[in-house]
Amino acid sequence: MQTTFSLAQLADAEIKEAERILRVCVHCGFCNATCPTYQLLGDELDGPRGRIYQIKDLLEGAKPASAKMVKHIDRCLSCLNCMTTCPSGVNYMHLVDHARIHVEETYARPLGDRLLRALLALVLPRPRLFRWALRAAGLVRPVRRWLPGRLGGLIDQAPRRLPPAPSLGHAGAFPAEGARRKRVALLAGCAQQVLDPEINAATVRVLNRHGCEVVIAAGAGCCGALAHHMGKTAPALTQVKANVAAWSREIEGEGLDAIVINASGCGTTVKEYGFMLRDDPAWAPRAAAVAERACDLSELLDDLDLAAGGAPAPLTVGYHSACSLQHGQKIHALPRRLLETAGFVVRDIPEGHLCCGSAGTYNLLQPELAGQLRARKIANIASVAPDTIAAGNIGCISQLAGGTEIPVVHTVQLLDWATGGPKPAGLG
């Protein structure tokens, strides 16, 4: 793609990176064939190629974002399916992230939209505040029918029951059973601690069982993805730097073999820490060291060689491959193989490459499109008649659970059960 940035514009490192990405694109349109929003809406401006043209025009003109352009950028899920499909290797992720920052800085959103985005950026990364917000949603539910627009949608998304507060939310170390093979840090996360703390508990159990000392580092918290994907650079980088500082202390102290993440949306972001802080000399080396050690839980479990065995009960699993895992981290077959090794029967879900509509805060900000994508995904899952659905991302788990009676669990909960842990509560 030909670009016309001025030399003055290219002196900006972010614009220079955007230009490099733009020039890789050859306009082929293969990306549209696998873009969820293009599949739903059939509008060129709601496909990756159309969004790339809009971003090019926005950045070259150095102009404020228009309402029309913002609508189409906001509709992007950042599922990164287009990056899997693209034959030229266009890094759409970095490009659309840059566009969202530009939108945040130059576009005056309607007041209601600004308040909702500010609320999500404030509440979701803070487990204690998020728990109180969900309790408040339960109190408001009886009058939900009178709540306007997306405010009512927020109540709909809130779970009707909250699990007890997690026992693993605080800093500490959990020793390996037997001889220690690895010392790893676990990202405890933010929303996941509230929505399903048993995911972290199962993670610690299965890692301890296989010779890993697990550390929850003091000072580590939200990965920064939620704010980052809304274009809110300052709070996102504050959260990123807090994690880099926390994990760097562990690396420089007793050392870390890995930083393990059991929410793939977070993992995709943590693996980008080196890129996000590349131009900050004070942080770049430590951020690169953190990103180098970051891994999805399935990668670590594969390295630990989980023992093959029979499943605790005959169970057919529909494996949902989260977009952030299969497209963001290029991990698709590995979790499926781990489940099969553990003795479960795993079924592939038709259209498994398409997003379920969760996408971080997308199902809260774009509930209509997210609902259509969930209905499509649930229909595809139902077609293979699984006993349970497994996924590696809390956003997908919550999104799918809201649309089906089939139990939805994290992959690690099944693997923990198969290697000596308790039966996942969701399976009854």
pLDDT value at 307 more than 90: no
- In three-state secondary structure terms, 296 is strand
Tokens of 97: 């992230």
User: What is the rounded radius of gyration, in angstroms, for the C-alpha atoms of the chain?
Assistant: 21
Task: Please say which residue of 302, 331, 361 terminates a domain.
Answer: 302
Is the residue at 277 inside a domain?
Answer: yes
Domain's final residue, options 157, 185, 219:
157
Task: Show which of 270, 302, 334 is a domain's final residue.
Answer: 302
Let me know whether 294 and 252 are in one domain. Answer: yes
Structure token digits, residue 126: 């803070």
Residue pair 145/172 in contact by the 8 Å Cβ criterion: no
Across the chain, what does the average pLDDT equal? 92
What is the domain range of residue 14?
Answer: 7-106
- Are residues 252 and 177 part of one domain? yes
Range with lowest mean pLDDT among 306-310, 332-336, 408-412 = 306-310
One domain for residues 15 and 66: yes
219 with 151, same domain: the answer is: no
Same-domain status, 117 and 61: no
At 153, list the tokens.
């949608």
| Number of neighbouring beta carbons within 10 Å of residue 418 | 24
Q: Are residues 204 and 242 in the same domain?
A: yes
* Distance (Å, whole) CA 233 – CA 102: 10
Q: How far apart are CA 410 and CA 406, in angstroms?
A: 13
- Kindly report, residue by residue over 177-220, the tens digit of the pLDDT: 999 999 999 999 899 999 999 999 999 999 999 999 999 999 99
Q: Among the residues of 306-366, which ranges form H helices?
A: 323, 333-341, 362-365
Cα 397 to the center of its chain, rounded Å: 11
Any idea what the CATH number is for the domain that residue 202 is in? 3.40.50
Is the pLDDT at 46 greater than 70, yes or no?
yes
User: Quick one: how far is CA 356 from the chain centroid?
Assistant: 12
Residue 143 in domain:
yes
pLDDT band at 148 (very low <50, low <70, confident <90, very high): low
Q: What is residue 146's predicted lDDT score, i.e. its pLDDT?
A: 64
Rounded CA-CA distance 257/183 in Å is: 6
Q: What is the CATH number of the domain that holds 360?
A: 3.40.50.1860
Identify whether the C-beta of residue 317 lies closer than 8 Å to the C-beta of residue 388.
yes
16 lies in a domain? Answer: yes
Kindly report which listed range (146-150, 270-274, 305-309, 382-386) carries the lowest average pLDDT score. Answer: 146-150
Amino acid at 128: R
Q: What is the pLDDT of residue 65?
A: 94
The burial class, CB within 10 Å (0-12 / 13-18 / 19+), for 173 is: middle
Is pLDDT at 295 greater than 70 in this prediction?
yes
How confident is the model at residue 137, as a pLDDT? Answer: 74
Angle CA(104)–CA(98)–CA(277) in degrees, nearest 5? 110
370 within a domain of the structure (yes/no): yes
State what percent of residues in the chain have pLDDT above 70. 96
Check which CATH number belongs to the domain holding 80 and give it.
1.10.1060.10
Distance between CA 54 and CA 73 in Å, rounded?
9
How far lies 205's CA from each of 190, 218, 263, 412, in Å? 20, 20, 17, 10
Give the confidence band of 49 by pLDDT, cuts at 50, 70, 90: very high
Residue type, 421: G
Confidence (pLDDT) at 338: 95
pLDDT of 317-335, one tens digit each? 999 999 999 999 999 999 9
Interatomic CA distance for residues 59 and 19, integer angstroms: 9
In a domain, 194, yes or no: yes
Asked if residue 163 is part of any domain, the answer here is no
In the chain, % of residues over pLDDT 90: 83
Q: What is the structure's pLDDT at 171?
A: 76
Q: Are 203 and 153 members of one domain?
A: no
Indicate whether 293 and 314 sit together in one domain: no
Please tell me the predicted confidence (pLDDT) of residue 134. Answer: 85
H helices within 75-197, ranges in order? 81-85, 92-106, 111-123, 127-140, 149-157, 191-195
What would the DSSP string read from start to end of 170-233?
SSEEEPPSSS--EEEEE---SHHHHH-THHHHHHHHHHHHTTEEEEE-TT----SHHHHTTT-H
* pLDDT of 96 higher than 80: yes
Residue 328: predicted pLDDT: 96
Examine residue 261 and state whether it is found in any structural domain, yes or no: yes
HSE-up of 299 (CA within 13 Å, CB side)? Answer: 20
CB 81 within 8 A of CB 36: yes
What pLDDT, on the 0 to 100 scale, is given for residue 151?
67
First to last CA, the chain: 54
Whether the predicted pLDDT of 152 surpasses 70: no
- Asked whether residue 1 is assigned to any structural domain, the reply reads no
Q: How far apart are CA 388 and CA 304, in angstroms?
A: 25
Q: Say if residue 339 is in the same domain as residue 264.
A: no
Closest CA to 408 of 418, 398, 420, 417: 398
Which pLDDT score is estimated for 160? Answer: 76
Q: Are 298 and 176 in a shared domain?
A: yes
State how many domains the chain has: 4
Do 119 and 205 reside in the same domain of the chain?
Answer: no
Say if residue 342 is in the same domain as residue 408.
Answer: yes
